[in-house]
């Protein structure tokens, strides 16, 4: 009589193969060949608790997102003088049309997107004299700093209605005025001036605002 044939080992189940190859931490310690052990039960409990906490946080954030929470705080203050450390006023019209000259158009045509043959039409469109009857001689050099300072927006002209006392910080020597591409930044270096509030003037409306940071 021949020797009895040995029983072939049972191949691992699909869940065991998945757990061994999965990069999710914990599964490889839970789904292993063999029976249930105390160590596997601990890993299963820890994995289930971690996954439950994660899903709970995700559900909480999704629910809050669809509730569209918002907080609006307005604080109105009346004061003859308001001090503030900084203010930024932005205007998408980088240059004032009233300050543009034909010589500026000649040098800045590429930036303004104006072709040389359209100078007269462009000047007429912005309400400036075309001087088509006179010979135009452009300057030999062009000072970009002078151009920006002359054509940029003026803070006094941008404020629609403001008493002189309301813009007291602008008159002292502690400010730094500089222009970005489209924004005017006014910074006050005197730390003794405690920020209370400022008024943002737009379209004829005055909106009191309170902020703790500036961008």
Pick from 182, 192, 181: nearest CA to 158: 182
Q: Which position has the token pair 């209605």?
A: 161
Find the Cα–Cα–Cα–Cα dihedral 40, 41, 43, 48, rounded to 10°.
140
In the chain, which stretches have pLDDT less than 70?
A: 1-9, 79-94, 131-133, 153-215
Q: How far apart are CA 81 and CA 166, in angstroms?
A: 5
Count Cβ atoms below 10 Å from residue 213 Cβ, excluding itself. 5
Q: How far apart are CA 143 and CA 107, in angstroms?
A: 10
Q: How far apart are CA 136 and CA 102, in angstroms?
A: 8
pLDDT tens profile 122-156: 777 777 777 666 777 778 888 888 888 788 766 66
Q: Read off the pTM.
A: 0.34
């Amino acid at each position: 009589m021949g020797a009895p044939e040995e029983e072939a080992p049972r191949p691992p189940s699909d869940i065991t193969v998945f757990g061994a190859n999965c990069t999710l931490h914990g599964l490889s310690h839970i789904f292993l060949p063999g029976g249930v052990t105390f160590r596997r039960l601990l890993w299963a409990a820890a994995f289930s608790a971690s996954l439950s906490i994660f899903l709970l946080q995700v559900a909480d954030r999704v629910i809050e997102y669809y509730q569209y929470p918002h907080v609006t705080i307005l604080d109105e203050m009346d004061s003859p003088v308001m001090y503030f450390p900084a203010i930024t006023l932005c205007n998408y019209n980088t240059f004032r049309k009233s300050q543009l000259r034909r010589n500026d158009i000649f040098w800045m045509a590429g930036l303004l997107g104006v072709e040389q043959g359209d100078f007269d039409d462009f000047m007429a469109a912005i309400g400036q004299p075309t001087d088509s009857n006179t010979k135009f001689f452009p300057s030999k050099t062009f000072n970009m700093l002078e151009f920006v300072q002359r054509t940029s927006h003026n803070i006094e002209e941008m404020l629609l209605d403001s008493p002189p006392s309301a813009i007291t910080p602008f008159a002292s020597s502690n400010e730094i005025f500089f222009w970005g591409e489209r924004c005017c930044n006014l910074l006050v270096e005197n730390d003794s001036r405690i920020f209370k509030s400022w008024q943002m003037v737009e379209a004829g409306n005055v909106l009191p605002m309170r902020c703790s940071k500036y961008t």
